[in-house]
Chain A
Amino acid sequence: MKKLAKQVIFYSALLGVWVLLAKLRIWPPYLFPPPWGVGHALWDGFADHSFWIGIAVTMKRMLIGYSLSVALGMILGLAVSSNKFLEETLGGLLVSLQSLPSICWIPLAVLWFGLTEKAILFVVLMGSLLSVTIAMEDGRKQMPKIYGMAGRNLGASGFRLFWSVLLPASLPFIVNGMKQGWAFAWRSLIQAEMIFLSLGLGQLLMMGRDLSDMSQVMAVMVLIVILGYMVDGLIFRTMERRLQEKYGLAP
């Protein structure tokens, strides 16, 4: 409750500063819209359904691209973490490729797939695949060795050892990888949508820019932040915290 009070005060103050700056008219309203201007743009966007459609399309792409990258990333991560040769070769390549911002894949994506849905998914995949892979690999390494030993001691071996011990034992790390993957996929998708200009939140943002409608730009930014936070902060972080508690990893 005390934390909530602090947050209410903080955000009210922030809003107050915004109102004050807007009222002072240092910049014209079309460049620096007041909060109610952004509120208005949000209202209009939802009223004419463009925001609903944008969210739906973006979330659909997210779901497909993200699922793909989690599935592939887990397989790759497992392969790299369980094979010394792959770890020393492919592992290094993956880490170095991760320094590549996902937007760098856009020219290739356009050449290979054209301005299509596939190209967007490709960018999302490349943006999050590596972080999922690396998180998976780290997770396997960080997993306490005691679980594997206890499993073998109790008669587990081969696939059963993997399925009933090693996999559940690395679950907190897998969730961590999924969370990181989500954050990267989300950023990549918005970037890709801004460039491909095919319906979606990124495109709505660019439309605001083209119309010099900063209220719309900021309204979409607010939407992106809220949606991103809802999934990352509420779903993933809660899941992660619960798991850490259960596994005795909580700080």
Chain B
Amino acid sequence: MSTSPQNAYPPPAPVGRRTGVRANVFYGKPASAVTTFPARPVTEVVVPKVALDSISLSYKTTSGERLLALDNISLEVKPGEFLCIVGPSGCGKSTLLHLIAGLHPQTSGKVLVDGVPASGPGTDRILIFQELGLFPWLTVGGNVEFGLKMKNVAKAEREERVQYYLRLVHLSQFRDSYIHQLSGGMRQRVALARALATEPDVLLMDEPFAALDAQTRDLLHDELERIWAETGRTIIFVTHNVREAVRLGDRVALMTFRPGRVKQQFSVNLPRPRHMEQADVAHAAGEILGCLRDEINKSLEAEYADEKTR
């Protein structure tokens, strides 16, 4: 957890670090009323880092029908918060991240960053894609440097930042390797370093660890938690794995299946660092999973129905 002296590059000042108050998990409240226990007096009004204001998205399917993918989603994410979004496959949670990243326009509603409506992609919000999208024609170092080049950062500073962030994800020795020479877990870390290097306020992560084996995933959870604590970024993390969401998030938002809505939100106040196998993590995940079951069943039914009509 400690910042070793070799991490020379000055990391940005943490924003809104938590107090580490030990509290019970509290879940099962409707979306409009997120409750945290024990209740803390509200002392300041914080402008949310990211606010989704009644976001809806519909599109025409190939058969000409209009399909409502996201329905009136409103969510607020505080600076420095780690929000996990959970939902069955096909609920539009990845699409939601693409909207926040500005890679896809919403049908209606607004995405606000620091209270200002955002249009189009911006380097204040970097998305780590599920498929990563690392550039195979660049080395590891080249990939991490890419966003800095696009931001016209001076060469000396680029050099410094690439070194710093490669060290942060423990890949300094692989700077000159190409992506195809790396393992899955290493690629994941390159993607993380590439996203962090541009020093975005908000990190959007789309099921980044879904394709990894359990050991690698656990390791990356620890690293992500450490990096989050060190850099104080706001993270919105999408996953279908409820336990992963509880393991990582300050808060877990549950999405419904087609159309995607925010069904419920849960505050997770378990002490950090957490582990996937911890009893209280499993317990909280179990409760959330209970609420998710209906949605998973709906998603499975829809999938099987698709199969029949084929």
Contacts and interface: CB of A to CB of B under 8 A. Distances in A.
Contacts of A147: 133, 135
A154 B103 contact: no
Given A165-B135, A248-B136, A153 B178 contact: no
Nearest to A249: B136
Contacts of B136: 246-248
Contacts of B131: 146
Contacts of A150: 129, 133-135
Contacts of B180: 245-248
A241 interface: no
B194 interface: yes
A156 B198 CA distance: 12
Interface in B147-170: 147, 149-151
A192 B14 CA distance: 72
B146 interface: yes
A231 interface: no
B194 A149 contact: no
Given A147-B135, A165-B135, A154 B147 contact: yes
Interface residues on B, range: 20 to 34
Interface residues of A, number: 19
A155 interface: yes
Interface in B102-141: 103, 121-123, 126-127, 129, 131, 133-137
A75 interface: no
Contacts of A156: 146, 150
Given A146-B129, A150-B129, A245-B180, A155 B135 contact: no
A149 B133 contact: yes
A147 B133 CA distance: 6
A60 interface: no
B262 interface: no
Contacts of A171: 137
Contact of A153 (B121, B134, B151): B121
Contacts of B178: 246
Given A147-B133, A245-B180, A246-B137, A153 B127 contact: yes
B103 A168 contact: no
24 contacts: A149-B133, A150-B129, A150-B134, A150-B135, A153-B103, A153-B126, A153-B127, A153-B129, A153-B133, A154-B198, A155-B121, A155-B147, A155-B150, A155-B151, A164-B146, A164-B150, A165-B135, A169-B137, A171-B137, A246-B136, A246-B137, A246-B178, A247-B137, A247-B180
Interface of A: 146-147, 149-150, 152-156, 160, 164-165, 168-169, 171, 245-248
